[in-house]
Amino acid sequence: MKKYLQLLLILIFSFSLLINGCGVSPQTTVPVQTDPVQTTAGTLQVHFIDVGQGDAILVQTPAGQNMLVDAGDNSYGGEVIEYLTSQGVEQLDIVVGTHPHADHIGGLDTVIDHFPVQKVYLPKVTHTTKTFRDLLAAVKDNGLKVTTAKAGVDLPLEGLNAYFAAPVEDSYESLNNYSAVIKIDYGSHSFLFTGDAEAESEAQILSAGTDIKTTVLKVGHHGSSSSTSPEFLQAAAPRYAVIMLGEDNPYGHPHRETMELLNSAGVEIFRTDRDGTIVFSTNGEDIEIN
């Protein structure tokens, strides 16, 4: 009996050491991640910031560079600054205004006045609105110059293959088709930001033979049926799609046709009106979504 008790005590003690040695108590819940990724050096993070019915995308590169693509409407400038600051942003290496509509460039003047900025890219098109004039004034007042965003222009982001896929031509009837479309490749994953580019611009990108196959597609024009043509979606073949839009917006975005196309293609859809800000992190192999 005495030997049995000694053996039992040894087993209990050994089990206790095993539990404590793993650093996890019996009460601790360990979150399960489908695609774990290190959010340290070597990680690319792409933040689709919830700015209601508008776009604002922060790209943080493995080399520590920061790129901002759009900044929502005029009223969202301060919120974008707060978000960038919360992510440790102290300067912006690149700022891109995809096209002159207020729901994309409205907050950019406030952001440019707040952070040191290295380069500004805009498509070669003007607009008569005060919002557009305010952006140009902020660029000038901060001693910056505009570099034209157009197909074939590379973006100076270290360790990434990043470039503009559109606009392909110099003249369009719709301002949306002037949208600066950006492709970023990192390891086995890619991101495609389409602004409000519509079917006309999408067709030109395809005709130019640009490789738009991507892991993550920022769906064009807030999910409008004017964008995301079947041919474009087939060529992009995304695993994930992000639709940036406001809750109960007056435009009926996202349109039924677009949702049906994405669902039929088996794409996993995220929406800022339902999911809030969406962050993708990748080390070039694995990808994580928050």
Q: Which residues pair with 184 in a beta bridge?
A: 162, 191
Number of structural domains the chain divides into: 1
Q: What is the DSSP letter of 184?
A: E
Residue 6 maps to a domain: no
Residue 53 maps to a domain: yes
Distance of alpha carbon 178 from alpha carbon 155, whole angstroms: 18
Distance of alpha carbon 62 from alpha carbon 79, whole angstroms: 25
| Residue 146 DSSP SS3 | strand
Question: Are the beta carbons of 211 and 237 closer than 8 angstroms?
Answer: no
**Burial class of 243 by CB neighbour count within 10 A (0 to 12, 13 to 18, 19+):** buried
Q: Which residues pair with 69 in a beta bridge?
A: 57, 96
Sheet with 57-60: strands ordered across: 146-148, 117-122, 92-96, 66-69, 57-60, 44-48, 278-282, 287-289
Residue 10 maps to a domain: no
Cα angle 240-241-243, degrees, rounded to a multiple of 5: 155
Distance of alpha carbon 62 from alpha carbon 43, whole angstroms: 5
CATH code of the domain covering residue 122: 3.60.15.10
Residue 259 maps to a domain: yes
Question: Are the beta carbons of 82 and 116 closer than 8 angstroms?
Answer: no
Residue 250 maps to a domain: yes
Distances, alpha carbon 219 to alpha carbons 26, 68, 102, 168, 223, in Å: 44, 17, 18, 19, 6
Residue 147 maps to a domain: yes
Distance of alpha carbon 241 from alpha carbon 173, whole angstroms: 27
Q: Which amino acid belongs to residue 248?
A: D
**What are the mean pLDDT values of the chain's consecutive 10-residue runs (290 residues total)?**
41 36 28 34 94 98 98 98 98 98 98 98 97 98 98 98 98 98 98 98 98 98 98 98 98 98 98 98 97
Encoded tokens for 162: 């990043």
Residue 98 maps to a domain: yes
The confidence score (pLDDT) of residue 41 equals 66
Question: Are the beta carbons of 147 and 119 closer than 8 angstroms?
Answer: yes
Residue 271 maps to a domain: yes
Distances, alpha carbon 122 to alpha carbons 42, 205, 230, 234, 252, in Å: 29, 18, 28, 28, 28
Distance of alpha carbon 95 from alpha carbon 146, whole angstroms: 10
Q: Which residues pair with 67 in a beta bridge?
A: 59, 94
Encoded tokens for 176: 């949306």
Helix count and strand count (H, E) for the chain: 9, 14
Encoded tokens for 276: 């809030």
Distances, alpha carbon 38 to alpha carbons 45, 57, 123, 282, 284, in Å: 11, 21, 35, 8, 11
The confidence score (pLDDT) of residue 219 equals 98
Query: Domain limits at 184?
Result: 38-289
